[in-house]
Amino acid sequence: MASQATLASIGERLRVARDRRGLTLDQLSEASGLSKAHLSRLESGERQPSIAALLDLSSTLGVSVNTLLGEDHEGPPLSVSVGDEPGHEANGLVITARSGFPGSSILEALSITIDPDRAASTPARHRGEEWLYVLTGTLRLEYDGAAHLLEPGECAHFDADRPHRLGAVGGPTEILMLAAKDSRSLSAIHR
């Protein structure tokens, strides 16, 4: 579980990103599909955001997940991941951002380690697409009501607006996830 200080700092960055866009909680709720009450709890640090919520909010706000996690760096439009970046724990997952050059807002790369004892969560849904590549272990991908087991070297690409959930079978599983945000959501706010 993330510390209270970590949740508070994520919440503050979320509020700052919302303020920079000139959005109210109601407007962000409508644009992201997340309830106003849930957004308020995220901003106050009372709730831990899921990967799906982070992807939806970063897409809606036009910022990277890295920005919301506090890993933004100044500099040229280049991001180099050296492999020793700290991970953030969330609901049986250790998530490490592997992308996010300054100004990046369409593609997110994350490495995710899934604990085999992770409690089953509500299936995620968010705008955009995901591509998963299994590095180690066995991934259980539940997608749109069907279960798929993926071994190292196998991958899946899917519409993330359909219900999906990740699990590990037999031991920890490490995957690489590329999430492409729905560019329509970036322009919807400006209407």
* Domain assignments of the chain as residue spans, ordered by start: 4-73, 88-183
The per-residue b/e assignment along 102-137, b for 16 or more CB within 10 angstroms, e otherwise, is eebbeebbbbbbbbeebeeeeebebbbebebbbeeb
173, amino acid identity:
T
Q: Per CATH, which fold does 88-183 belong to?
A: Jelly Rolls (2.60.120)
Counts of helices then strands in the chain (DSSP H, E): 6, 7
Report pLDDT digits (tens) over 63-89: 878 788 877 656 667 777 777 777 888
Report pLDDT digits (tens) over 135-171: 999 999 999 999 999 999 999 999 999 999 999 999 9
CATH 3.40.1260.10 assigned to domain 4-73? The reply is no
* C-alpha triplet 115, 133, 128: angle, nearest 5°: 95
